[in-house]
Amino acid sequence: MRKLLFDSLSDINTNTEGMMPTYEFTVTLDRAPVDDDYDRLFDAGLDDTTPGTEDGRGVLMVTRESASLSAALVSVCEDAGRAGFRIVGLQQGDLVSLKTIAQCLRRSYEGLRLIAQGRRGPGGFPAPISGDGWALYSFASACEWFVKNYGIAPAVSDDDRLLAAADHLFRARALVDGSTLARLAILAR
């Protein structure tokens, strides 16, 4: 059972006088780093990361001081680019099954399935993000829906929502070229 939506993020310093907060998160790279890459990563400003490989994918475990989480994400993305890498995702838990949502909300799976189908409750439950036989939902969106309609849900912070959005943007960047992504930016308005 999940205690926090994103276990990979923690705000270590909380307004310690004269210090910026430190954010921890893990990004997925477009390739696994090899021996020659470690110096490039360090020289590009990623000396606050631990590069590695998980399930054959390159990752950077980041511990970055920054004025905000969004600034930390942008700076890590830029630094990774200077080192010859592209960030293709964030390791976080926003995409989940109805079963996981039901467990986190302490509801029955069947009851939640009926809510998701619109056969119970007020309707308007967020649609699944994937639709190829395995329905995965945005945990942040489901929690917001439950807060709005039932006044209950695990806490979902602004940082949780920002990480979910950033993960989707990193994945979009991996799918289309920069000019196409720039043209699609109008969709965010």
Question: Shortest CA distance to 95 belongs to which of 188, 6, 186?
Answer: 6
Amino acid at 24: E
- Cross-strand bridge partners of residue 58: 53
| pTM exceeds 0.85, yes or no | no
pLDDT tens digits, one per residue of 95-143:
788 988 888 788 899 999 999 999 999 999 999 987 666 788 888 889 8
DSSP 67: S
Q: Where are the domains of the chain?
A: 10-93+157-177, 95-150
Could you give the C-alpha distances from 11 to 21, 72, 91, 144, in angstroms and in order?
6, 12, 16, 22
Question: Shortest CA distance to 32 belongs to which of 72, 100, 86?
Answer: 86
Amino acid at 100: T
pLDDT tens digits, one per residue of 177-188:
888 888 888 887
2 CB-side CA count, 13 A:
21
* Sign of the alpha-carbon torsion through 168, 46, 74, 9: positive
User: Residue 17: its pLDDT value, please?
Assistant: 60
Mean pLDDT of all residues in 81-87: 96
| Fold (CATH) for 10-93+157-177 | Alpha-Beta Plaits (3.30.70)
Give the right CATH number for 95-150 from 1.10.287, 1.10.10, 1.20.120, 1.10.3470. 1.10.10
- Cross-strand bridge partners of residue 26: 61
